[in-house]
């Protein structure tokens, strides 16, 4: 786990919007987007639509993610929290 992944997971014990993550972590938006996409890919976070429905559970539709990543909210999964807490 990288320091950046650790810092992101540290913010995702509760559902957080992309904008809140961006403000708290003070990261470039593209770097944060790419990191979130990577964390989704390994199953360490979940992604939620604006109406809080879980999306991208199977990673098939990442076209929408690329276009709307900043509209979504994120939450660490059990696997992500375990990785975060055992670092």
| pLDDT per position as a tens digit, 34-71 | 999 999 989 999 999 888 888 866 655 667 788 889 99
CATH, residue 11 = 1.10.10.10
pLDDT for the residue numbered 61: 62
Q: CA of 3: how far to CAs of 7, 37, 71, 72, in Å?
A: 6, 16, 25, 23
Domain assignment of residue 73, given as a range? 3-85
Write out the two tokens for 27. 């990261």
pLDDT for the residue numbered 59: 57
- Is 33 a residue whose pLDDT tops 90? yes
Number of domains present in the structure of the chain: 1
Count Cβ atoms within 10 A of the Cβ of residue 12 and give its class: 0-12 exposed, 13-18 middle, 19 or more buried.
buried
Computed over every residue of the chain, the mean pLDDT equals 90
Neighbouring residues of 13: CB distance < 8 A, sequence distance ≥ 6? 76, 81
Mean pLDDT of 15-27: 96
């Amino acid at each position: 786990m990288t320091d950046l992944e650790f810092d992101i997971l540290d913010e995702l014990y509760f559902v957080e919007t992309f904008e809140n993550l961006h403000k708290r972590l003070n990261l470039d938006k593209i770097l944060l987007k790419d990191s979130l996409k990577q964390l989704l890919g390994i199953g360490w976070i979940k992604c939620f639509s604006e109406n809080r429905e879980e999306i991208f559970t199977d990673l098939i539709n990442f076209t929408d993610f690329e276009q709307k990543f900043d509209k979504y909210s994120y939450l660490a999964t059990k696997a992500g929290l375990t990785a975060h807490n055992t670092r």
